[in-house]
Structure 1
Amino acid sequence: MTMRKIIATIAAIGAIGLSGAADEKVDFSKSIQGVLEARCIDCHGPKKQKGDLRLDKKETAFGEIIQAGKSIESELFKRITLPADHEDIMPPKGDPLTKDQIEAIKKWIDEGANWPDGLVLISAKDRAEAKAAAARLPEPEIKQVPVSDAEKAAIAKLASGEGVGEDYAAPLVMALAQDTKLIYANFRLVGKFVKDEHIVPLADIRNLSELDLGNTQISAVGLQHISKASSLTKLSLANTAIDDSGLKHIEGLSNLMSLNLYNTKVTDAGLASLKNMKFLRKVYGWQSGITENGAAELKKTLPNVDVNLGFKLAKVEPKKEEKKEEVKQVSFNKKCPVSGKDVDQTKLYTINFCCNNCLNNFTKDPVKHVAKLKGSDNKKCIFQDKDVDAGKKFVIGFCCGNCLGGFTKDPAKHIAKVKK
């Protein structure tokens, strides 16, 4: 093949490649939609139509603003290509569109401005808010119902404390907030007096929203009275004798969001009664029979639930006392300096020093330094008045207590006889 043919072939291949790139149409969803939503829809969308212009819908955007096949005549293209300091440039705020963005819009319009039917653009801000809202966990829709005479009577009876305790102490029963029919009931403060029969009126309170039965004497039987409390979102059974059988009575509380089982007899088996509570977010289970394995199993069914088993202290092993090696005291001398007899290693006169230098000085000439002695087992070095080192000592042995006592009274008299 001649050089001329090779060059011609390369040129042909290049032309084919360029032609392919040029023929590739602009993808609206990838190259155009994001630009319009980020830079145009805030001012020209459903919330605001600056200059009576709306670009979020095909039917309102096409016409004079976007003329399919005619970018040069399209008002949109004219505006985005104005000088940066022009008062009519679009977008009016922020940086102008980039060269690539402008070229993509021009090419898209010239190609016929393909816009999927029915597609409505959303501003980038609104899209982000919608995405965040979708990510938020759903909450139950609690429907307040008209307060019946039975409900009024039940609230009045509980609030009066009728039948609860020797002094007729009353639980707290009140509206959850202003302008709401939802009810908050708290039996905790009178808990020790409250038994199953005392919470019977709860069955008639259809707007019961939050209930605290902590510290009460209720049993599984008592929970039957709230088994149909469809408005209940928060329930505390802390410090009660409730067990797995009790949870079966509340398995129909589908709107429950928080359940306190602290110090109850509930076990992993009881958690099965909670599996249909799709809004359940918190289960407090410390000091109960619930284990980490049980919590993990519940989370498989309810991935948004947090089972709090309390703070676990790390097991602290008792610190082993280090045995200090006793420094065995052996006398410097073999013969008693008083009697000349063999030394008894229990009859010792100990002179302690702060360092090897001081010990060596004394060992070389005990007679010279005997005047510094102030009794056996001194705490301060006789040379430097520093704390002594237990391993730096000069030990003098004696044959008996009498000889040791005699030396202690007058070391100078016998020190010269201290020899190895």
Structure 2
Amino acid sequence: MSSPLRVGIAGLGTVGASVIRLLERQAASLAASTGRTISLAAVSARDRAKERGIDMKGAQWFDDPVALAQAPGIDLFVELMGGDEGPAREAVEAALKAGKSVVTANKALLAKHGMALAKLAEEKRVALAFEASVAGGIPIVKTLREGLAGNQIGRVYGILNGTCNYILSRMELEKMSFDDCLREAQRLGYAEADPTFDIGGFDTAHKLAILTSLAFGVAVDAEAIHIEGIQSITLEDLTAADDLGYRIKLLGVAQRTPEGIEQRVHPTMVAKTSAIAQVMGVTNAVTIDADAVKELTLVGPGAGGDATASAVVADIADIARGIRSAPFGLPVAALEKAPRRAMQRHEGGYYIRLSVVDRSGAAAAIATRMAQRNISLESIMQKSRGAAKGASSGEPVSVVLLTYATTESNIREALEAALSDGYIAGRPQVIRIERE
């Protein structure tokens, strides 16, 4: 058997502690499958005295993660601290420069500095592995980079944030408001005290940037992603979607188009019959459209100590076996800078909810504005609060429009024109429809 792989772990939170437990519990099977033992040689965290319920006997303690990354007593550095700058970036760079392979779960770091770190890993002929950075325990990185090497991928999309999926699921199933669901998610530990990074779509965007690079052989370009969160989604939208045969999910979508790579994160209506619509709660899912396998959907836990640790340990095992893949599937020099496709050119169907002023000619005027932009309507739903009393109450009428495929720019222009006509009260709600 080869010499032991000596592992140093920086970050002993939920995931770090779970990694140590998995390495201990699976020690015999990992040694048998990789041909060498994997030993915990050193650790680093902010609080040395904290009780973590893990056995770290024999592991050297470092207060400075950079010093750990450079330590001659480790062969592999595992970064589980988080953050796109500061100690996480400094320690990963230090480890790579010292000729040590790196495993990380840090999607923010990879979305911002992934190309530079991958180039450094290539130069030093070491591994940079990050299965745990996207979709927790789902092996999506290896699937795109290795399992689908014989395919040309046309689109990759998915539910990449469990917090948002939990909120939308509870809103729909239990008829709760967004604010109530968010408070419950925070109470259960699914959402942070400041949930902006999750509900604003930024966490999903970081993960999508990584998937886009792997799927299409392009450089990571997080700045190209159009981002919208779920803050504006109401119970009325979810009810209307249900009536129309859809569910609303926050999706990250990347697809190849003749004009370039389109990357977008936004609330999306998906048919209730689709595989991804069945994914509820904190679960994640990723669907890949490819020429050989057609459609492939992977579903599993997107977060949590054990699920994320499972992906980290899988990367550690690969490195123990001597496997060193190009981090993003191709050498950095071969990754193209893909042309960005502007969101205004996006084509698809749209759900539009309007509060229409309840007076004669309003509906006809809005329909005219749609027709002027060549927008065809698939269906119209209308519910007037005043009508229930047998007469107009003077309150706006809620009108839902479902369009056939059109462009983002056409939708925006038609709605701006309708707003200027004075027939719409408040801002329209617009949700894109993702077809199978």
| TM-score scaled by length of structure 2 | 0.23
Q: Which has the higher strand share?
A: 2
